[in-house]
Amino acid sequence: MTKTASTEPNKPIEQAWKKFEKRDFEGAEGIFSSVSENDSSYSEALYGHAACLLRRKKFSRAIELLDTLQESDPNDFKIYHTRALCHGGDENYEEAVNDLEKAIELAGDRHDLYYDLGGTFLASRDYKRAAQCFEKCIDIDNKCYEAWVGKALAAYFNKEQKAAFEFANIALKFNPKSMMALLLKTEVLIEMGKKSEAEKEVKKIRNINSDIFKQEIHDSDSEHESDDYDVDEDANRTEDDEIEEFDLDD
Q: Can you give the residue range of the structural domain that contains 227?
A: 140-250
**Shared domain check, 148 and 85:** no
**Shared domain check, 147 and 103:** no
Q: Is residue 130 a part of any domain in this protein?
A: no
Q: Is residue 123 a part of any domain in this protein?
A: no
User: How far apart are alpha carbons 121 and 148 in whole angstroms?
Assistant: 15
**Shared domain check, 191 and 86:** no
pLDDT digits (tens, 9 = 90+) for 164-184: 999 999 999 999 999 999 999
Q: Check residues 97 and 220 and name the one with the higher pLDDT.
A: 97
**Shared domain check, 168 and 86:** no
Q: Kindly state the percentage of the chain with pLDDT values over 90.
A: 75
**Shared domain check, 145 and 247:** yes
**Shared domain check, 1 and 104:** yes
Among residues 54, 85, 108, which one ends one of the domains? 108
Q: Is residue 122 a part of any domain in this protein?
A: no
Residue 1 has what pLDDT? 54
pTM over 0.75: yes
Residue 156 has what pLDDT? 97
pLDDT digits (tens, 9 = 90+) for 145-165: 999 999 999 999 999 999 999
What's the CA angle centered on 185, arms 122 and 123, to 5 degrees? 10
- Average pLDDT estimate for 190-200: 95
pLDDT digits (tens, 9 = 90+) for 65-85: 999 999 999 999 999 999 999
Q: Is residue 51 a part of any domain in this protein?
A: yes
pLDDT digits (tens, 9 = 90+) for 227-243: 333 333 334 444 555 44
| Domains held by the chain: number | 2
**Shared domain check, 144 and 104:** no
**Shared domain check, 197 and 104:** no
> What is the C-alpha end-to-end distance of the chain, expressed in Å?
20
Q: Is residue 42 a part of any domain in this protein?
A: yes
Q: Residue 11's domain is classified under what CATH number?
A: 1.25.40.10
**Shared domain check, 67 and 158:** no
**Shared domain check, 248 and 160:** yes
Residue 38 has what pLDDT? 80
Among residues 91, 108, 125, which one ends one of the domains? 108
Among residues 85, 108, 131, which one ends one of the domains? 108
**In angstroms, what CA-CA distances link 167 with 5, 77, 107, 128, 191?**
48, 30, 28, 15, 16
**Shared domain check, 241 and 164:** yes
Q: Is residue 89 a part of any domain in this protein?
A: yes
Residue 41 has what pLDDT? 61
Q: Is residue 128 a part of any domain in this protein?
A: no
DSSP symbols for 142-195: TT-HHHHHHHHHHHHHTT-HHHHHHHHHHHHHH-TT-HHHHHHHHHHHHHTT-H
User: How far apart are alpha carbons 81 and 84 in whole angstroms?
Assistant: 5
Residue 210 has what pLDDT? 83
How is the chain split among helix, strand and coil, in percent rounded to 5? 70, 0, 30
Q: Is residue 119 a part of any domain in this protein?
A: no
**Shared domain check, 191 and 96:** no
Least confident interval from 15-29, 35-49, 71-85, 115-129: 35-49
